[in-house]
Amino acid sequence: MSRPLPLSLLSALLLTLLPGLAPAAKLGDVYLLARESDAKLAAAREAQKASQEKIPQGRAGLLPSLSLDAFLRRTESRTSTTSNDYTSHGYSLALVQPLYRRQNLEAYEQAKLQSLLGDQQFKVAEQDLLLRVATAYFDVLLAQDALATAQAQKKAFAEQLAQARKSFEVGAATITDTHEAQARFDLTTAQEIAALNDLEVKRRALEKIIDREAPALATLDDKVAMPLPEPASLDPWLRQAEESSLAVALGQSGLELARREVARQRGGHHPTLDLAATYSDNRNVGSGATTIDSRSGVLGLEFGWVLFQGGGLSAAVREAVANQEKARHDLEEARRQARLDARQGFLGVLSGDAQVKALEQALVSSEAQLKSTKLGLEVGVRTRVDVLNAQQQVFTTRRDLAAARYQTLLAGLQLKAAAGSLDAEDLKAVDALLREPAAP
């Protein structure tokens, strides 16, 4: 009986094989594709698997070890009066159970911490993927908007150029208007070429993450309001960032690992105690068919104590202590950076929302100005250059408004990342603001 395809794989097939029939991909859809294909996340996943093997390796130092030695030798001895040839063979088994080894105990605790670090680093990689996908997604949308703006601008300037030429031919305008319109048209043509190139680069950056051709992307609804941080106060976000940031968690685990390393190195000065058992069976068979058998078994306690090792143990302890202090400073740096990232993300959302509202109003004003300027041109109180300037203002405002919207949404995701709470569920809130792209 065949197994059903995973939903994410079905989504990928729809997006890549049926681009004309499938709906435009939202941010969450692209993230599912990235989880399956992103090389950085795949490497982090394998690193996490490798870190899990640290625990059995560390535990091995506390468990019994059993070793087998065997030999087979042929000996030929000659003197002037005698000869003595014989074959010897045998084996020995040795069992050692550590009873007290401070270094092994600390190594086991370190192994558990290293496994925890592997899990935390994988969470960091997942969070990084979320931000990389969101950034690449919005970069493509912004590049599409920039291209659409350049094309609309080019079309408008082409119309103005045609009108200027016609007016000049009938003597209703000067050659200056024609030259001004031609310059604006030529500049916009160059901007269109640059926008096409930028869109191509941005789409390839997205394709690198999902390892397939970038699907059609849902666009941001122009009418939606930007989501604000909840809670609306900065202090709770700063506290959460300092306590729950993934970077802070990594720093805390790193400090504890360094502390355990100090204890492990100091354990080199401690005595060791093992329970040891050995059994050996040796046989010597001489040329005269003489056989000598030797069997022995030993069970006992073995005590060891390294009293001096040329100063190496003390140097290793000092090195571990210095690394512990480094880890302590790294943790403090992580806390400070988390607070800074949270503050930047919070202010980015608030200032971005304010900027979006201001640009929305500016767009309304610019469109009204353009309409009035065109009317003024018809009645002879405005020049064609004035119309070109008004059109330029409208297009620039539209471009800046789109960029502000995308940056505000991205700042919200960065704020949650700084607080250590960003996950795939947050993408659903962004998806709710997206819609099918308008038909060209």
SS3 letters across 376-404: HHHHCCCCHHHHHHHHHHHHHHHHHHHHH
Tell whether the model's pLDDT for residue 18 goes beyond 80: no
Whether residues 231 and 189 share a domain: the answer is yes
Say if CB 77 and CB 151 are below 8 A apart.
Answer: no
Whether residues 361 and 289 share a domain: the answer is no
DSSP codes of every residue in 289-326? S-EEEEEEEEEEEEEE----STTHHHHHHHHHHHHHHH
Residue-wise pLDDT for 196-247, tens only, equals 999 999 999 999 999 999 999 999 988 888 999 999 999 999 999 999 999 9
Q: CA-to-CA distance for 233 and 211, rounded, in angstroms?
A: 40
Bridge partner list, 292 = 284
Would 212 be classed as within a structural domain?
A: yes
Whether residues 165 and 93 share a domain: the answer is no
Would 289 be classed as within a structural domain?
A: yes
Say if CB 62 and CB 98 are below 8 A apart.
Answer: yes
**Which of 272, 261, 300 is CA-nearest to residue 58?**
261
Where residue 83 sits, what CATH number does that domain have? 2.20.200
Say if CB 315 and CB 132 are below 8 A apart.
Answer: no
- 74-81 average pLDDT score: 76
Q: Which amino acid, one-letter code, is at 230?
A: E
Q: How many domains does one find in the chain?
A: 2
Burial of 305 (0-12, 13-18, 19+ CB in 10 A): exposed
- Structural domain including 69 reads 64-100+271-304
Least-confidence region, from 17-31, 325-339, 358-372, 404-418? 17-31
Say if CB 131 and CB 424 are below 8 A apart.
Answer: no
Whether residues 78 and 160 share a domain: the answer is no
Last residue of a domain, one of 282, 304, 326: 304
Last residue of a domain, one of 261, 284, 304: 304
Tell whether the model's pLDDT for residue 1 goes beyond 50: no
Where residue 139 sits, what CATH number does that domain have? 1.20.1600.10
Whether residues 259 and 114 share a domain: the answer is yes
Average pLDDT of the chain to the nearest whole number: 89
Residue-wise pLDDT for 248-295, tens only, equals 999 999 999 999 999 999 999 999 999 999 999 988 876 655 667 889
Neighbouring C-beta atoms of residue 287, cutoff 10 Å: 11
Whether residues 204 and 339 share a domain: the answer is yes
- Model confidence band, residue 122 (pLDDT cutoffs 50, 70, 90): very high
Whether residues 277 and 382 share a domain: the answer is no
